Amino acid sequence: MQLAIASDHAGYPLKAALVPWLEAEGHEVLDLGTDGTASVDYPDFGRALAEAVADGRAQRGIAICGTGIGISIAVNRHPALRCARVDEPVSAALARQHNDANAIALGARLIGEEMARACLTAFLSADFEGGRHQPRVDKLGARQEMPA
């Protein structure tokens, strides 16, 4: 599978550990940075990840920051992205199965490398179930008026 991965400075050590593992698992990895622990702005890397998935350079995205929260918000600003921030494999699998998530966000300061691998394994091996979930996912991409 073609994957895009991006992190801010807080997520860099986890990203650096995950890239070779993902490649050893047979995935093609587009590393969008950052390339070290010098302070950077997570919205820039979230945007780059979202664009890579939206334009087809990657099938799925992996976003990492200290908590996973900021970068997931940045990724989800793109209308074509459905990024789920997860801490464990059940949520990672359900994000694919029920929400057709095309990106996952991890909090490097909250989970270790082993749990991150477990989350990615679950996320990358799960398929969207469609069915009753499809109309809900369709609504995520539709412009909806907010109630008054």
How far apart, in whole angstroms, are the C-alpha atoms of residue 77 and residue 82? 9
- Residue of 9, 27, 65, 119 marked catalytic: 65
Which secondary-structure segment (H or E) carries 30? strand 28-31
Q: Which of 27, 78, 83, 98 is catalytic?
A: 98
Active site residue 98: yes
Known active-site residue 83: no
Count CB neighbours of 20 within 10 A: 10
Torsion (CA) 91, 80, 76, 97 in degrees, nearest 10: -10
The residues carrying an active-site annotation are: 65, 98
